[in-house]
Structure formats: structure tokens, C-alpha cells
């Protein structure tokens, strides 16, 4: 009797488990209907309800990741698929999971590139490449993943070429800046020597203590007893060759007529005293650094050009895949 009782219990539990598992099926079907109708938010809700009924449903977990992807919730899609990869050892399932992770990371790469963050985009495309390789380890014959891997590798090369070009441009800009600074310094020395000679001849050396061409009276301001110190470095402007400490000399910022110093943004404050002389919201010192270039950042124009090249390359990949005998057009995600 005891043996029969145990068997009955096992049969009861198996039946209960089967009934329990069936409860999520209507929600999965509903989610799939919404997904097919491109109502991805609704499909996400249905798949979540399916998981409430059966938290172990592989199908619901996988489809939920697809719903996240379609809503451009790439972080959530990656998190969903990554967690799912730890729940199975089935190679075909793992191949599809890693394929979708790679696609999500590829989409993130494009989003990062739109923010002009070149180095971050390269790091992200590396993750995508690694995910596609993991997919192929589990299913080496998958044509879609092979083409996507090839596309990601081409994209990485494109980004690295741009980074190299940025580095070359930066080196050239730095060299040009050094040459410019040297020429400017030479010219300033010549002008200073000439000015000193003129001052000596006119016995008026006290009129311009720092030799920037701007009269001391102008730089001191209205209160000669407490002369201006624009950068608060302890050296008053009339003795300071860089009164606003932005990396540019007062003589350079004063313009062609130092006795009437230049005021680029017309705010009443001459450039040699103005911490933001072009009124662009950034300190002149920061503008000076950025003008030298950064190999890990790109301009908006370069980012748009790269994205256009990427999209054209993606079309080429799609066309090649269409020509492969028996192959389907590469999809954005693997359906379960």
C-alpha cells in the first residue's frame, strides 16, 4: 500500500505541475499576438504575466527579452538574455541567446556613437563581437550570426580608423599650435623689444608695466589704490601677462589696438579680462584645451558621417545575406 501511495503522489504532483505550466500559455500566446502586431509594450506585459504563472518558462523569458529589444530597452534586453544564458545548457538555445545579446550591444554602440563618444563605442562593439563569437561556439553554422559578426568587425575597424585619424589630427594640431606659439612668442619678443625701445626713448616705461600694449591705467581700473586682479592670483592685471588665466596672453586677446582692448561678445568686458570671451558657456581655458583635439571624442559632423557609413555597410550585409542560397534575411532578433 505504501508503494502505491507514493506512486499516486508522484502522479498527482506531475499532473499538478503540468496544469501549473499550462497556465502561462494563454499569456504567451497573447504576448506573441501583440508582438506580431508591433504592440511591444503590451506584449511585454503579457510575457510578465506568463512569468508570474510560471517563473521557469524559458519561452516567456526569451520572448520578454525580444519585447525589451523592440522597445529599444537594450540594457533590459541584455540583462534578460544574460540571466537566461545561465538557465540552460542547450547549445541551440544558447546560440540564439548570445545572438540577441550581440544585437542589443550593437544597437547600444550606435547610440553611444551618436553621443560622439568614440572610445566608449569601440568598447561596446567589442562586447558585441564577443557575444556573436559565443553564439557561433554553440552553433557554428548559423549564417545570420556569421554575417552579423562580420558586420560588427567592419564597424570596429571603421571606428578605430576614425580614432587613429583623430590622433593624427591631434598631433598635427599640437605641432601647429607649438609652431604658432613659437612664432607668436618671437613676434611678441620683437614687439616687446621695439616697445621697450620706444618706451625708453619716450621715458614712459611706467605706462605699461607688463608690456602687453594695454596701458596700466586701463588695466588698473578706476581705483588705482586697489588695481584689478581678474584671475585673483595675487598679481594685478597691469603686471599680469595673462590677466584671466585662460592660457592666452593679454596682448593676444587685446587685439590690434591694445589701447582699446577687444571685446568679442560685446558684453562690456574686454577679452583679456573675460573668462568666457565668446559667451559659449564654457571657460576660455576649456575652449583652448578642446581646440587641441581629443582622439576619443568626435565632432557631431564626424559622428553623423560614421553613422551613415555604418548604415550603408549594414545594407550591404543584408544584400549579401539575401544572395546566400537558402538563407533568410538577417533579423534583428532570434524568435523563439
Do residues 110 and 143 make contact, with C-beta atoms less than 8 angstroms apart?
Answer: no
- Choose from 105-109, 304-308, 330-334 the range with maximum mean pLDDT: 105-109
Do residues 162 and 298 make contact, with C-beta atoms less than 8 angstroms apart?
Answer: yes
Q: Do 276 and 318 sit in the same domain of this protein?
A: no
Contacts of 311 by beta carbon, 8 Å cutoff, 6+ apart: none
Residue 116, pLDDT score: 83
Q: Do 314 and 328 sit in the same domain of this protein?
A: yes
Q: Do 291 and 235 sit in the same domain of this protein?
A: yes
Among candidate residues 38, 54, 71, the one where a domain is terminated: 71
Residue 172, domain member (yes or no): no
Do residues 46 and 35 make contact, with C-beta atoms less than 8 angstroms apart?
Answer: no
The three three-digit cell numbers of residue 114, written as one number: 551618436
Residue 167, domain member (yes or no): no
Mean pLDDT over 114-135 rounds to 91
Among candidate residues 20, 50, 71, the one where a domain is terminated: 71
Residue 230, domain member (yes or no): yes
Phi-psi bin for 286: left (phi > 0), alpha (psi -120 to 50), beta?
Answer: alpha
* Residue 37 to residue 15: CA distance in whole angstroms: 34
Residue 196, domain member (yes or no): no
Residue 190, domain member (yes or no): no
Q: Which position has the grid cell 623689444?
A: 193
Residue 170, domain member (yes or no): no
Residue 72, pLDDT score: 93
Residue 12, pLDDT score: 44
Q: Do 86 and 144 sit in the same domain of this protein?
A: yes
Residue 81, pLDDT score: 95
Q: Would the pLDDT of 201 be above 70?
A: no
Q: Do 302 and 228 sit in the same domain of this protein?
A: no
CA 149 to chain centre: 22
- Average pLDDT over the chain reads 77
Q: Would the pLDDT of 14 be above 70?
A: no
Q: At what angle do helices 40-53 and 25-36 cross, to 10 degrees?
A: 170
Q: Do 114 and 64 sit in the same domain of this protein?
A: no
Q: Do 216 and 276 sit in the same domain of this protein?
A: yes
Do residues 102 and 139 make contact, with C-beta atoms less than 8 angstroms apart?
Answer: no
pLDDT range class, residue 7, cuts 50, 70, 90: very low
* Residue 69 to residue 77: CA distance in whole angstroms: 5
> Which residue did the predictor score with more confidence, 191 or 1?
191
* Residue 219 to residue 227: CA distance in whole angstroms: 8
Q: Which position has the grid cell 504575466?
A: 49
Q: Do 61 and 114 sit in the same domain of this protein?
A: no
Among candidate residues 71, 96, 122, the one where a domain is terminated: 71
Residue 94, pLDDT score: 95
Apex 214 CA angle, 209 and 219, nearest 5: 75
* Residue 268 to residue 56: CA distance in whole angstroms: 70
Residue 202, domain member (yes or no): no
Q: Would the pLDDT of 112 be above 70?
A: yes
Q: Would the pLDDT of 46 be above 90?
A: yes
pLDDT digits (tens, 9 = 90+) for 206-254: 577 767 677 877 877 777 777 877 777 888 866 777 767 777 776 777 7
Q: Do 287 and 212 sit in the same domain of this protein?
A: yes
Q: Would the pLDDT of 98 be above 60?
A: yes
pLDDT digits (tens, 9 = 90+) for 273-283: 777 777 766 67
Q: Do 93 and 42 sit in the same domain of this protein?
A: no
Q: Do 65 and 9 sit in the same domain of this protein?
A: yes
Residue 184, domain member (yes or no): no
Residue 85, pLDDT score: 93
Domain housing 270: 207-295
Number of independent structural domains in the chain: 3
Burial 287-298 (b: 16+ CB within 10 A, else e): beeeeebebebb
* Residue 144 to residue 147: CA distance in whole angstroms: 5
Q: Do 280 and 306 sit in the same domain of this protein?
A: no
> Which residue did the predictor score with more confidence, 328 or 183?
183
Amino acid at each position: 500500500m505504501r508503494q502505491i501511495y507514493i506512486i499516486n503522489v508522484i502522479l498527482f504532483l506531475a499532473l499538478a505541475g503540468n496544469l501549473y505550466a499550462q497556465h502561462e500559455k494563454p499569456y504567451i500566446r497573447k504576448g506573441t499576438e501583440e508582438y506580431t502586431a508591433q504592440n511591444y509594450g503590451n506584449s511585454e506585459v503579457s510575457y510578465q504575466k506568463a512569468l508570474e504563472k510560471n517563473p521557469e518558462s524559458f519561452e516567456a523569458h526569451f520572448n520578454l527579452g525580444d519585447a525589451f529589444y523592440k522597445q529599444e530597452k537594450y540594457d533590459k534586453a541584455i540583462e534578460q538574455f544574460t540571466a537566461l544564458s545561465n538557465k540552460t545548457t542547450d547549445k541551440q538555445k544558447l546560440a540564439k541567446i548570445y545572438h540577441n545579446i550581440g544585437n542589443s550591444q550593437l544597437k547600444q554602440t550606435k547610440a553611444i556613437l551618436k553621443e560622439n563618444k568614440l572610445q566608449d563605442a569601440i568598447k561596446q562593439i567589442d562586447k558585441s563581437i564577443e557575444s556573436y563569437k559565443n553564439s557561433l561556439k554553440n552553433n557554428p553554422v548559423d549564417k545570420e550570426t556569421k554575417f552579423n559578426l562580420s558586420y560588427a568587425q567592419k564597424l570596429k575597424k571603421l571606428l578605430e580608423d576614425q580614432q587613429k585619424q583623430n590622433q593624427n589630427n591631434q598631433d598635427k594640431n599640437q605641432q601647429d599650435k607649438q609652431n604658432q606659439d613659437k612664432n607668436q612668442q618671437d613676434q611678441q619678443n620683437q614687439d616687446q623689444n621695439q616697445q621697450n625701445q620706444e618706451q625708453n626713448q619716450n621715458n614712459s616705461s611706467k605706462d605699461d608695466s607688463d608690456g602687453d600694449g594695454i596701458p596700466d591705467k586701463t588695466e588698473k581700473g578706476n581705483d588705482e589704490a586697489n588695481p584689478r586682479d581678474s584671475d585673483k592670483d595675487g598679481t594685478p592685471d597691469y603686471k599680469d601677462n595673462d590677466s584671466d588665466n585662460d592660457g592666452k596672453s593679454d596682448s593676444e586677446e587685446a587685439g590690434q589696438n591694445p589701447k582699446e582692448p577687444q571685446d568679442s561678445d560685446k558684453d562690456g568686458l574686454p577679452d583679456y579680462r573675460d573668462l568666457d570671451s565668446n559667451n559659449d558657456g564654457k571657460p576660455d581655458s576649456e575652449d583652448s584645451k578642446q581646440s587641441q583635439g581629443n582622439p576619443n571624442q568626435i565632432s557631431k559632423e564626424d559622428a553623423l558621417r560614421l553613422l551613415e557609413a555604418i548604415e550603408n555597410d549594414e545594407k550591404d550585409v543584408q544584400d549579401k545575406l539575401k544572395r546566400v542560397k537558402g538563407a533568410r534575411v538577417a533579423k534583428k532578433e532570434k524568435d523563439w
